Amino acid sequence: MAFFKDLRRRSRASFRTSDSSKDSNNSVPSQKSSSTLGSAYASSTPPSSHPATSSNPNLSTFKTNGISPAPPVPTRPGTMSGSNRNSMIVMSPTGSTSAMRLPQPSSPFAPKVTSITDNSIVHSKIIVVSGEISDPQLRPMEGNITVHHDKDGYAFPPTNWPVSDSYFKALVYLSPGWNKLRFEFSSPKLSQSSNGFTQSHSSYLMLNYLPLNSAPPLQLVILVGRDSPCTFDATPARVQNEGNDLSVAIRKFRMAAHLWQAFTAEQMYRHKFGRRSFRYEEEWQTGTLSIRDWECGIQKNETKIHVVRCEHTVAELRDENLAQQNEKAAKKGDLYGIAGDAIRKYFNIRPGQKHYVACLILDSHWDKQAGTITAHAALGGGSDDLKLAIFGSHALQSYPSCVEEVVPALTDCTKTDTNFVANDCNESGSNWEAANIGIGAHLHEVGHLLGSPHQESGVMLRDYVRLNRTFCIREAYSTRTKSPGMRVCKQEDECGWHRLDVLRFRYHPCFRVPGDELPSTADNSIQYYAVDGGRLITMAPSGIAFVEIRTDGADLCHQWLEYLNADPRNAALPRQVTLTEADIRAKLPEDKKKSKVSLQIWSGSATNVEIKDLSEVLSPKNIIVLPPVKLGPKQDPGMMMTMVGKSFGDKRQGFKGKKLGASSMQGSKPQEIILQSCIYQSKLLRSVKVWAGAALDGLEFCYEDGSKQLFGKSGGSSAEFALDTRRGETILGFDVRAGAWVDGIQILTSTGRRSGWYGDSNGGSGHTLMAPRGYYLAGLSGSCGPWIDGLQMMITR
């Protein structure tokens, strides 16, 4: 104890300063005394989260000859002494957290990347970057960009990319984690400095590649006949130089898929959705994205290409009746089913599973005599279990097989030799144009696979004939347009995904990235209610994303409404949106304002519901007149009471919502009930008796006075769900499983309770029927045959 007292006395003494005239050696305090002062000061200051600075008034106490003592020793490690304001703390490529300072550009001619910012996070193994050298307006430069990876010995060798008028584009390979990239410019005009040594013109870029594993992959399949030799159409020179066997096909298809991915990621970024893209399934195998990896047998995680043999022979696949380009073909759509059956069998798709597959038919063949491409179909779409895009291999010879071949392949003006390969739609007169058609048209079908229809512009309107401009700074001579090409392909010259495409992709499960809110798998439904004033209230548990507006006779959508939050920190979608007919028609051109309007409402779970005729939905047939609120027989008629904003005796309106079920069963008859508790103020709903077996038979509403109301019929077994009337519990809505009829139902209450499931809880699809804000349940409408095959909820204010 005496020790601590002595220590405290010494600590207090250390705070006393003396005049220099009283100091025996008339000098400033030594380093040791300064440390003592600093330690004492630190022990009496606030916690380290409030560090002391020279502006602290307490520091005025510590002066010797007007010289302030050394600052207190910090309790937290400070920045490195050699750091400056340009330093940054990042995760190093080796995985350790340390201070890393990227070198500054080495000269005014160092490449400047303009398409992506430093320290960005990306989710694709290969990305496309673009930039410029110096100021293109002042001094246009020609030359080359060399991209170096900090893991050159393992990740990827240096690659060269042309510079035209000081602009460049490059494909950059990334390995998982941080990637330190060096961009080096070389030009004959800048070959040597004044002292005779070669001057470096380099800049650096740090990118973090975060692979995605939680999103479903887009799987890649090469389909062949059961007796196929596994070769594809190619000219004799191509066969001699690079071959046309299955291994070459796999390398070319893999490279094309990475071009799809890089293109889509860049497009999503330009639409301010980050660099989202679909991912691919990978496996450990010999790398092919670099020619070095393939020649040296270096193994890496590479995109897996599944080779699927179907039950049909090559001759059967090349049947002219299956050829899509044959106008007289009687079975031109059957090739899609053949591919789908083979892929389902290969992946052993189970009920409830969903696969997304892009398929290349390797046995496609150019029949010069018939003038058609056999065993080829350009189709995309699918069913609940398989989303599939198929395309032929007739342009495969023109594809690049690795990153180093992208620019040579997309600028190759070699004329298409129709003695051996096809000039597809007369738009593939040269090799680079054939690559555009093959890679781009297959991507078009992938767009259909992902849910995109044809659009007014972009990839989904055959704009892929300009796909090369995304990856090449120059464009070669075009046989399609008879033009000499472009010296500089700028962003405005490129093709792209339409805005409506990227809106679909943003909420597609294949584009999910970490941080996205996972939509409920139980309920992807969208509900709507036509209410008074020409208003349509739309609701979705996953939020309303956008609404497409189409007029009668229009194949393409030209107007739409978006409900995305502009703040990226709050990406939540509104769960309830009110549309008005006036606002919707105001979006239309003058000559279309009185046309029939249809809507397609999209939710945050990538589902949609179509309203084929807006005027019909908003018509009076979906609005009913409810009886006025009445007093009970024992209540004083003079009581001045109101109920949900309506006086007793006032007429009210009820509004029908979206109908579930097809009402198409034999003997089905319409039914409709208005809950007595909605009419009589004295009626108290006590319970709901549900009649159900394999489907929903009926709902019986039971009141405290013993009266009942039945919607549907009493059949199957019954179960009763009681409400807590002492707590004022009421019915808010229902969770429903429905398809052609109503399979099962669950009751939702105002206290947050849910009943059990009655009927089939796995049948049909999930739907939530609930009144919008400001409304409540008024009754049910629909139809009943052997069981309930139509159900609508009626609401009122």
Task: Give the burial class of 43: count Cβ atoms within 10 A of its Cβ; 0-12 exposed, 13-18 middle, 19 or more buried.
Answer: exposed
Task: Spell 449-470 as b/e; 16+ CB within 10 A means b.
Answer: bbbbbebeebbbebbbbbbbbb
d(CA 357, CA 746): 36
302 DSSP β-pair partners? 283
Q: Is residue 445 annotated as a catalytic residue, yes or no? A: yes
Q: Give whole-number Cα distances, 406 to 187, 291, 334, 429, 463, in Å.
A: 21, 12, 34, 18, 19
Q: At residue 747, what is the residue type?
A: I
Cα 397 to Cα 470: distance, rounded to the nearest angstrom: 21
d(CA 719, CA 693): 11
644: left (phi over 0), alpha (psi -120 to 50) or beta: left
How far apart (Å, rounded) are the C-alpha atoms in residues 771 and 384?
29
Q: Is the dihedral of CA 763, 764, 765, 767 positive or negative?
A: negative
Q: For residues 777 and 637, is the Cβ–Cβ distance under 8 A?
A: no
Which residue is listed with tokens 């052609």? 740
Q: Are 741 and 708 in contact (CB under 8 A)?
A: no
Distance CA 477, CA 492 (A): 19
User: Is 764:737 a contact under the CB 8 Å cutoff?
Assistant: yes
Q: Phi then psi for 511, rounded to 5 degrees?
A: -105, 15
Task: Check: CB of residue 459 under 8 Å from CB of residue 495.
Answer: yes
Closest CA to 596 of 583, 611, 608: 611
How far is the C-alpha of 767 from the C-alpha of 774, rounded, in Å? 21
Give me the catalytic one of 184, 445, 494, 548.
445
- The C-alpha R_g of the chain, in whole angstroms, comes to 36
* CA distances (Å), origin 262, targets 171, 178, 179, 465: 8, 18, 17, 17
Burial of 646 (0-12, 13-18, 19+ CB in 10 A): middle
Question: What letter represents residue 387's amino acid?
Answer: K
Measuring CA to CA, how many Å separate 499 from each of 42, 513, 562? 58, 20, 10
Produce one character per residue of 89-112: b if its CB has 16 or more CB atoms within 10 Å, e if not.
ebebbeeeeeebebeebbeebbbb
**Triad 398, 401, 405: Cα angle to 5°:** 80
Asked if 517 and 572 count as a contact pair (C-beta separation under 8 A), the reply is yes
**Residue from 426, 427, 441 nearest 377 by CA:** 441
Catalytic residues: 445
